[in-house]
Every structure is written in structure tokens, then in C-alpha cells.
Amino acid sequence: MRNLSKYFLYLVLFLSVFILFLPKEQLFIYAVNKLYNEKIYLKDYIYKESLTSTNIKNINIIYDSINIANINNIKSKLFLVYNNVDIRDIKLDDSLNSFVPSKIRYININYNILKPLYIYSKIDAKQYSVKIKFDILNLKIKAIFKTSQFFRKKYPKLLKELKYDKDIKDYTYEYKL
């Protein structure tokens, strides 16, 4: 039992050191290069890093020479058993306004090692909110939309893509990758 606790302590220590010295900036540059290959460019951002988190501010996202979004802040936190990405103040291009509202307050993405097969996300905007569950094993996304009366009237194109669930009295969306 003593040897087992000793190995567990070494494992926790190793993972802690790994997270602290993880080359976060190189991972970010790798992600930016992958997006570049898909003709998605990140412009005018400010990158800051600490021991367990990264913070990226004032990001303009450009796709095919069109500025499609502006994000005020992205903060990622890496911990031993819990990882979190928090995206704040997203403004989509007005050309997308007929399909989806252009302002999103925040997107929060969580991964917990105690539930290793799922990634959870929450999106919050003025007229709606969305709870998303991504099943890693089955590559399945399930989203539950909580919509306002205004949202239902203004965005019928989006609602046509969703399924109304009588049990929860709101819209759902499922997608298998």
C-alpha cells in the first residue's frame, strides 16, 4: 500500500510539472498554423501566458478575406483534473445576423478527468443559451437550446435545423461526426 501511494504521488508530481512547463505558446502557434491551412486567420491578438493558463485578447477571425468574428477574450486554464476554456464577448459579422444573433456573451468549454468521455460546453447570448455535450467515444454532439420568444420569431431559419423536444419544451440538435 505504501508503494502504491508513493507511485501515485510521483504520478501527480509528474503531471503537475508537465502542466506547468507545457509549451503553451508552441501549442497555440501550432493551432494558428492549422487554422491558416484552412484559410482561417487570427489577426491583431495579444497573447499572455502564466503557469497554468493562457489569455488571448482582441482576436479578429478572418475567413476567406472576410472578418467573420471579433473575440474580446479567450482564457484557458489547465489543471490536473479539470480543464477550462472561457471565451468572452464574441461579435459575429452582421452578414450572419439573418441566421444567428451576432453577439454572444460567452462560450465556456469544460473537460473533467472524472468524466473522461465527455466535453461539456455552454453558450450564453441575450436571446438564447445552449448546453452542449460532446461524447468523445461515439463522436456525438448533443445541444439543448433555451430560446426566447424574440429568438423564435427572428431566427426561423435556424429553428428549422433544430428539433423541438416536447419533454423539455425547447429545441435540441444532435450530430454524429
Q: 19: helix, coil or strand?
A: helix
Residues 106-133: tens digit of each pLDDT: 999 999 988 989 999 999 998 899 999 9
Cβ neighbourhood burial of 26 (10 Å; 0-12, 13-18, 19+):
exposed
- Asked if the model's pLDDT at residue 144 lies above 70, the reply is yes
* Domain chopping of the chain, boundaries: 105-177
Mean pLDDT throughout 32-45? 91
Nearest CA to 21 out of 44, 42, 52 is that of 52
Residues 45-62: tens digit of each pLDDT: 999 988 788 999 999 999
